[in-house]
Chain A
Amino acid sequence: MIFDNATRQTNQNNTPAAYTKRQTYRTRHEEEASFMKAYDHIIRFALLITAVIAGFFIIRARLVPESFGVQGSYSYAFYRADSADEQAALPAVHQGSAHCSACHAPQASLRQTNAHAGLECETCHGSFKAHNNNTKERMAVSGSVDACMLCHAALTARPAQFPQIDSFSAHVAQQNETLLPGMTCVTCHDPHAPM
């Protein structure tokens, strides 16, 4: 109806004369049109609201990511559920000693019954990462004094029962040995079976 009227108005050049004429001379069709005209604003308003509501849901659907919502608790679990699965799919970097034993049986077996039995290979050698068949990336091997002292240097904060040594030179002297150049802890201790 609205469009009907609008077309007509433009067709009639919408002069004041034409307007008056339409007001005074009414066909049945125009009678009906004027009835509709009385509700014109409501229809327009309804259309507007429908558009706004539709717009709200369209925009909302685009902004709210998939799987986002309340997952049991408003306060603590209002999130994108896929996020947890995405994080769970991250690759594990550290592989554990069992993984190393397959290729390094000697070290693994040495380690089994001695003071370092509780240590993981990766604790000393760093994470497995890309160290693979024929070692694309080599594992860190540090037989340096500092590498052992990281754990065994005497510190007040360390539990008293943990084996600690005051200094390399003092320790060597204690064993009635002479400190030779190039000597490190692994000269006397096998890191995989220190005692």
Chain B
Amino acid sequence: MKHDRREFIKKAGWTFIGSGLYINLFSAGPALAGSRSSALKNLYAFIVNTETCIGCGKCAAACRAENSVPDGNYRTWIERYTIMHSGSVEVDSPHGGEKGFTPLSFNPADIRKSFFVPKLCNHCKKPNCVQVCPVGATYVSPEGFVLVDEKRCVGCSYCMQACPYSARFMNPVTHTADKCTWCYHRIRQGKTTACVQVCPVGARLFGRVDDTDGPVAQLLKAKRLQVLKPETGNEPMVLYVGLDKEVH
């Protein structure tokens, strides 16, 4: 066997890389993971009832106040779908619906139906946005909330492109990705989300899926529910009552 320097350095190099990987994967892993590690559960669900929503925009306004959302950005917003007899679909959302809606300008005879669809982050079970984050700044919390770590986020906006629901935006103040947190702070403090709290008609509901007496579990039993864009495979946890196929 030939012993030359090149051969030696090669072998030493592989040994180095190998041992480095070993240390990284097996020894340092559990130490880094900390003691709070737990399996993901998706304990909560959000139910939006498009049959009762009156499009007053109080939810979007409350969200802005609760979470200091900068003007022009929305963590939650309301879309008005108008479906014509001709089959064409018109969607409008002036100021995200935050200041309410004005009457439609279409000829009433042409309108088949019209309804409001409040939207927010779907807190998916398999969120694309989380998978694409290159710095581990967005994650699924142990309770199933999809959150953004403002301190880690480098503002690459990759997650914004990955989200099929356009739920994310670039916060112009912090220059980090921002979105609905399902009012994580309020939930952890035993309250409900700001938008659910102020909704005058109960078109928004939030709660634990396993709480059999809770409003969410009741609706889960009583209603047939749908999610937005199921074909993307994100498995949203925001469920809709009265969703039409025209709604995306």
**A residues within 8 Å of B by Cβ?**
41, 45, 49, 52-53, 56, 64-65, 67-73, 75-81, 83-84, 87-94, 96, 118-120, 122-123, 126-127, 129, 150-151, 153-159, 162
Tell me whether B151 and A83 are in contact (CB under 8 A). Answer: yes
- CB B196 to nearest CB in A, in angstroms, measures 10
Q: How far is the CA of A93 from the CA of B137 in the complex (A)?
A: 25
Tell me whether A92 and B142 are in contact (CB under 8 A). Answer: no
Tell me whether B130 and A76 are in contact (CB under 8 A). Answer: yes
Tell me whether B191 and A96 are in contact (CB under 8 A). Answer: yes
Which residues of the other chain, A, contact B226 by a CB distance below 8 angstroms?
none
**B residues within 8 Å of A by Cβ?**
5, 9, 12, 16, 20, 29, 32-34, 36-40, 51-58, 61-62, 65-66, 80-82, 99-101, 103-104, 108, 111, 114-116, 126-127, 130-131, 136-142, 147, 149-152, 181, 184-186, 188-189, 191, 194, 197-202
Q: How far is the CA of A19 from the CA of B197 in the complex (A)?
A: 89
Tell me whether B62 and A122 are in contact (CB under 8 A). Answer: yes
Given contacts A76-B126, A84-B184, contact A70 B32 (CB under 8 A): yes
Tell me whether A93 and B140 are in contact (CB under 8 A). Answer: no
Q: Which residue of A lies closest to B39 (CB)?
A: A72
Which residues of the other chain, A, contact B12 by a CB distance below 8 angstroms?
45, 49
Tell me whether A93 and B200 are in contact (CB under 8 A). Answer: no
- CB A126 to nearest CB in B, in angstroms, measures 7
Secondary structure at the A interface, as helix, strand, loop or mixed, is loop
Given contacts A53-B20, A70-B32, A123-B58, contact A118 B38 (CB under 8 A): no
The residue from A84, A87, A94 contacting B197, defined by CB atoms under 8 A apart:
A94
Tell me whether B65 and A159 are in contact (CB under 8 A). Answer: no
Which residues of the other chain, A, contact B5 by a CB distance below 8 angstroms?
41
Tell me whether A158 and B55 are in contact (CB under 8 A). Answer: yes
Q: How far is the CA of A96 from the CA of B193 in the complex (A)?
A: 11
Q: How far is the CA of A159 from the CA of B57 in the complex (A)?
A: 15
Tell me whether B140 and A56 are in contact (CB under 8 A). Answer: no
The residue from B20, B197, B200 contacting A56, defined by CB atoms under 8 A apart:
B20
